[in-house]
Amino acid sequence: MHLSDPLARWLTVAVMLVAFPGCTSPAPSASPSAAQPSVFTSPAASPASVPTMTSAPSTAIPIPTLAATPTDADAGWTLLERAVAPGTAWSPSGQHILTTTNGGTHLHSADGSLVRSYPKMHDADWFDGSHLIAYLSSVTRGSPDFDSVPHEAMLASVDGDDPVPFDLPWGYGTALGSGHGAVAVARPRDNQWPDQRWDYRVWTRDGRSGRRDGFPVRWSWDGTKLAVLHPFGRVRSPGGWLEVVSWPELQPIFADEPPYATGDAQFDPTSRLVAYPTSRGDGDELEVFMRVVSLETGEVLDLARDLYSSTFWTADSNFSIVAADLSATTYDRVGGVVSTWNAPALSLGASIDGSTVAFLETGSEARVYVMRDGETTDTVAPSGEDGKVLVSPDGRALVALIFDQGSESAFLMPGL
């Protein structure tokens, strides 16, 4: 459902790969099946056979040009935690927020109050709307022995029941929760960096799936689909070809052929479309773009992007790309331009339903800009060197993760 430890680590490398063409991988093999011998073989679509999108465009509401209305500069930021680790996440219902520090996992209510803490539990994610999954160890995160001691998966209820053991191995940093009663965990099949291969399984209360090839990176919002990366040979993670499988069947819905996917996937509000950053070529020949795929028809649409850019889905499943110079374009489902506009900042987050988009401008005079219902408002934000925003599922609150002086802090703005 959200960005978790393995994806955060993979995306750190992805930024390096995209930002520095010299770090891109060699030309991939001709097909996923040839590039990736696997336990679970998925069909591959050759570039010539992948159809382009030809469906009729949806009726779109253009995103407004920025005309911000300042609000009270002291409007209610609440400090949740300092020195947070990757994995801060809203619950699927938007009623709770998870944060993780070296000391453990912390559960907050939507108004910012601390509900409870789980000492020495780490790498938490949402199992379903009322349960979180995390790992319990005998030492705190950051301890020299952290990677060598056992880590036991625990299932905890937001209602306050004691956490109970859950039959789940410790994978590459964390479990990827669907928010709908399933959790995917990837484990390395070998240790041949940078040729490392991955397997994953999906666990539920009723048991676990068989082993599958790939590294899971994102669940769809409704928990019915899982995006998985299949690494190529001789690449620096993350990278490979992207597949989307159904849940609980774990059957392929879409399997891409190279170009090279760089580690993330974004499902639209209906979970019928997926977009992901890709590239082809190398060095001076490098091309970067977003590939948008209809999971119902298999049609694809490639949209140009900058090396540094931000993207989001709108409420009507149109796709917006913000370039490095803050010029922004919103496209319909066949690539037609719905609107062009100027974004207030490059760092952004959107609600699951696409109704609300928040932009974070960092620095000594930081501000957050919120676009919703055709209007844009702004307010003072906590200052820092860098940061990002996480909008609640209903778009009515946001968390700002502010990085400053070597540490990241989580702040809440309720009641947008």
For the chain, list the domains and their CATH numbers.
5-25+51-413 (2.130.10.150)
Q: What values do phi and psi take at 283, rounded to 5? A: 55, -125
The predicted structure's pLDDT at residue 37: 27
For residue 330, what are its two tokens? Answer: 């919103």
Cα distances (angstroms) measured from residue 381 to each of 29, 71, 181, 370: 47, 11, 35, 12
Mean pLDDT of the chain: 81
CA quadruple 161, 163, 168, 171: dihedral positive or negative?
A: positive
Cα 372 from chain centroid (whole Å)? 22
pLDDT at 280 over 90: no
Average confidence (pLDDT) over 360-388: 93
Q: Strand, helix or coil at 283? A: helix
Average confidence (pLDDT) over 155-184: 87
pLDDT at 59 over 50: no
368 vs 374: which has the higher pLDDT: 368
The predicted structure's pLDDT at residue 258: 66
Residue 51 pLDDT grade (very low, low, confident, very high; cuts 50, 70, 90) = low
For residue 261, what are its two tokens? Answer: 């996917």
pLDDT at 70 over 70: no
Average confidence (pLDDT) over 71-90: 81
For residue 369, what are its two tokens? Answer: 């800009």
Average confidence (pLDDT) over 302-321: 94
Least confident of 175-179, 186-190, 341-345: 186-190
pLDDT at 317 over 60: yes
Contacts for 144 with CB less than 8 Å, ≥ 6 apart: none
pLDDT at 28 over 60: no
Average confidence (pLDDT) over 317-336: 96
203 vs 140: which has the higher pLDDT: 203
For residues 164 and 155, the answer to whether their CB atoms sit within 8 Å is yes
Residue 167 pLDDT grade (very low, low, confident, very high; cuts 50, 70, 90) = confident
pLDDT at 75 over 60: no
Average confidence (pLDDT) over 73-83: 81
pLDDT at 3 over 70: no
Least confident of 95-109, 204-218, 253-267: 253-267
pLDDT at 49 over 50: no
Least confident of 69-83, 177-191, 288-302, 370-384: 69-83
For residues 266 and 314, the answer to whether their CB atoms sit within 8 Å is no
Distance CA 321, CA 31 (A): 29
Q: Strand, helix or coil at 84? A: strand
Distance CA 398, CA 139 (A): 31
pLDDT at 332 over 90: yes
pLDDT at 345 over 60: yes
Note the pLDDT tens digit of each residue in 222-255. Answer: 999 999 988 765 554 456 889 999 999 999 999 9
290 vs 49: which has the higher pLDDT: 290
Amino acid at 360: L
